[in-house]
Structure 1
Amino acid sequence: MARRPTIKDIARRAGVSESAVSFALNDRPGVSDGTRARVRRVAEELGWHPNSAARALAGERSGAVGLVLARPAHTLGVESFFLQLVSGIQEVLSAGRTALLFQVVDDIDAECALYRRWWAERRVDGVLVVDPRTQDPRPELLARLGLPAVTVGGTGAPGPLSSVWADDARAMARVVDHLHGLGHRRITHIAGLPGLAHTARRIASLRVEAAARGLGPREVHSVVTDYSDAEGAAATRRVLAEPEPPTALVYDNDVMAVAGSAVAAELGIAVPGRLSIVAWDDSALCRVTHPRLTALVRDTAGFGRLAAEELLTVLAGGPPRTREGEQPRLEPRESTAPPPAAY
Structure 2
Amino acid sequence: MRVTQRDIARLANVSQATVSRVLSGDDRVESDIRDRVSKVIREQNYQPDVRAQSLRNRRTGMIGLVIKRPQGGIMNDPFYANLIASIVEQLAETEFHLCVDSAVDNEKHLSLYDEMLRSRRVDGLILVESEASDDRILKLQRDKFPFVLIGNPLHAAEVHSVDNDNVHASEQLTRHLIEQGYHRIAFLGAKTGITVSDDRIAGYQRALRGAQDEHLIFHSDFGSEAARETAREILSMANRPDAIVVLDDFMALGVSAASREFKLSVPRDLGIASFNDSSLCEVVNGGLTSVNLNIPEIVRLSVSQLLDIIDNRATSGPRRILVPSSLSIRNSSKKSEVML
Both proteins in one fold, TM over 0.5: yes
Which residue number in structure 2 is paired with residue 333 of structure 1?
Answer: 330
Which residue number in structure 2 is paired with residue 170 of structure 1?
Answer: 168
Which residue number in structure 2 is paired with residue 256 of structure 1?
Answer: 251
Q: What residue identity is the alignment partner of 1:322?
A: R
Question: Is 1:247 aligned with 2:242?
Answer: yes
For 2:319, which of 319, 322, 325 is the aligned residue?
322
The separation in 2 between residues aligned to 1:156 and 1:121, in whole angstroms, is: 28
TM-aligned CA deviation for residue 125 of structure 1: 1.1
The structure-2 alpha-carbon separation of the partners of 1:307 and 1:73, relative to structure 1 and needing over 3 Å to count, comes to farther
For 1:185, which of 183, 186, 190 is the aligned residue?
183
Q: What residue identity is the alignment partner of 1:229?
A: S
- Pairs within 5 Å for 1:214-233: 214-217=211-214, 220-233=215-228
> Once structures 1 and 2 are overlaid, which stretch shifts more, 138-147 or 157-166?
157-166
Preserved contact between residue 226 and residue 254 of structure 2 (Cα < 8 Å):
no
Preserved contact between residue 128 and residue 151 of structure 1 (Cα < 8 Å):
yes
- Deviation readout 1:12-50 (Å, 9 max, x if unpaired): xxxxxxxxxxxxxx99xxxxx9xx75xx449xxxxxxxx
Which residue number in structure 1 is paired with residue 91 of structure 2?
Answer: 93
Q: What residue identity is the alignment partner of 2:284?
A: T
Which residue number in structure 1 is paired with residue 286 of structure 2?
Answer: 291
Preserved contact between residue 294 and residue 323 of structure 2 (Cα < 8 Å):
yes
Question: Is 1:121 aligned with 2:119?
Answer: yes
Q: Secondary structure at the match of 2:216?
A: strand
The separation in 1 between residues aligned to 2:202 and 2:333, in whole angstroms, is: 23
Which residue number in structure 2 is paired with residue 52 of structure 1?
Answer: none
Preserved contact between residue 69 and residue 104 of structure 1 (Cα < 8 Å):
yes
For 2:229, which of 217, 231, 234 is the aligned residue?
234
> Once structures 1 and 2 are overlaid, which stretch shifts more, 112-121 or 298-307?
112-121
The separation in 1 between residues aligned to 2:109 and 2:232, in whole angstroms, is: 34
Q: Secondary structure at the match of 2:174?
A: helix
Preserved contact between residue 189 and residue 250 of structure 1 (Cα < 8 Å):
yes
TM-aligned CA deviation for residue 321 of structure 1: 2.6
Which residue number in structure 2 is paired with residue 276 of structure 1?
Answer: 271
The separation in 1 between residues aligned to 2:310 and 2:114, in whole angstroms, is: 18
For 1:107, which of 97, 105, 108 is the aligned residue?
105
TM-aligned CA deviation for residue 56 of structure 1: 10
The separation in 2 between residues aligned to 1:216 and 1:56, in whole angstroms, is: 63
- Deviation readout 1:104-153 (Å, 9 max, x if unpaired): 12333433333333233221111111110011112221111121111111
Which residue number in structure 2 is paired with residue 197 of structure 1?
Answer: 195
Preserved contact between residue 64 and residue 98 of structure 2 (Cα < 8 Å):
yes
The separation in 2 between residues aligned to 1:116 and 1:292, in whole angstroms, is: 42
Which residue number in structure 2 is paired with residue 151 of structure 1?
Answer: 149
Q: Secondary structure at the match of 2:287?
A: coil
The structure-2 alpha-carbon separation of the partners of 1:83 and 1:339, relative to structure 1 and needing over 3 Å to count, comes to same
- Deviation readout 1:299-339 (Å, 9 max, x if unpaired): 22332222111111111211443343432211221111347
Q: What residue identity is the alignment partner of 2:171?
A: A
Q: TM-score w.r.t. structure 1 length?
A: 0.77
Query: How big is the alpha-carbon RMSD for the aligned residues of Structure 1 and Structure 2?
Result: 2.9
Structure 1's unaligned 5+ residue stretches are 1-25, 28-32, 43-54
Q: Kindly tell me the number of residue pairs found equivalent between the two proteins.
A: 294
The structure-2 alpha-carbon separation of the partners of 1:223 and 1:339, relative to structure 1 and needing over 3 Å to count, comes to farther
Question: Is 1:139 aligned with 2:137?
Answer: yes
Q: Rg: which structure is higher?
A: 1
The separation in 1 between residues aligned to 2:248 and 2:114, in whole angstroms, is: 32
The separation in 1 between residues aligned to 2:336 and 2:240, in whole angstroms, is: 12
Q: What residue identity is the alignment partner of 1:250?
A: V
TM-aligned CA deviation for residue 233 of structure 1: 1.3
Preserved contact between residue 287 and residue 293 of structure 1 (Cα < 8 Å):
yes
Q: What residue identity is the alignment partner of 1:308?
A: V
Q: What residue identity is the alignment partner of 2:212?
A: L
Which residue number in structure 1 is paired with residue 42 of structure 2?
Answer: none
The separation in 2 between residues aligned to 1:113 and 1:241, in whole angstroms, is: 40
The separation in 2 between residues aligned to 1:155 and 1:142, in whole angstroms, is: 13
Q: What residue identity is the alignment partner of 1:202?
A: R
Q: TM-score w.r.t. structure 2 length?
A: 0.78
Which residue number in structure 1 is paired with residue 59 of structure 2?
Answer: 61
The separation in 1 between residues aligned to 2:205 and 2:99, in whole angstroms, is: 39
